[in-house]
Chains A and B, each alone.
Chain A
Amino acid sequence: DGGITQSPKYLFRKEGQNVTLSCEQNLNHDAMYWYRQDPGQGLRLIYYSQIVNDFQKGDIAEGYSVSREKKESFPLTVTSAQKNPTAFYLCASSPSDPAGELFFGEGSRLTVL
Chain B
Amino acid sequence: GQQVMQIPQYQHVQEGEDFTTYCNSSTTLSNIQWYKQRPGGHPVFLIQLVKSGEVKKQKRLTFQFGEAKKNSSLHITATQTTDVGTYFCAQSANAGKSTFGDGTTLTVKP
- Give residues 72-111 of A contacting B (CB, 8 Å): 90, 94, 97-107
Q: Chain B contact residues (Cβ within 8 angstroms of A): what range? A: 20 to 34
A56-B42 contact, Cβ under 8 Å, with A41-B102, A42-B88, A43-B88: no
Q: Which residues of A contact B44 (CB under 8 A)?
A: 104
A64: Cβ under 8 A from any B Cβ = no
Residue-wise interface mask of A (20-55) relative to B, using a CB-CB cutoff of 8 A (1 in contact, 0 not): 000000000001010100001111110010100000
Q: Chain A contact residues (Cβ within 8 angstroms of B): what range? A: 20 to 34
A63: Cβ under 8 A from any B Cβ = no
When chains A and B are docked, how far (Å) is the Cα of A102 from the Cα of B48?
11
Q: Which residues of A contact B85 (CB under 8 A)?
A: none
A48-B96 contact, Cβ under 8 Å, with A59-B1, A90-B42, A106-B42: yes
Question: Footprint of B on A, CB under 8 Å?
Answer: 31, 33, 35, 40-45, 48, 50, 56, 58-59, 90, 94, 97-107
Q: Can you list 12 A-B pairs, Cβ within 8 angstroms, ordered by A?
A: A42-B102, A42-B103, A43-B88, A48-B96, A50-B95, A59-B1, A98-B95, A101-B48, A102-B33, A102-B35, A104-B42, A106-B42
Question: Footprint of A on B, CB under 8 Å?
Answer: 1, 6, 9, 30-31, 33, 35, 41-45, 48, 88, 90, 92-103
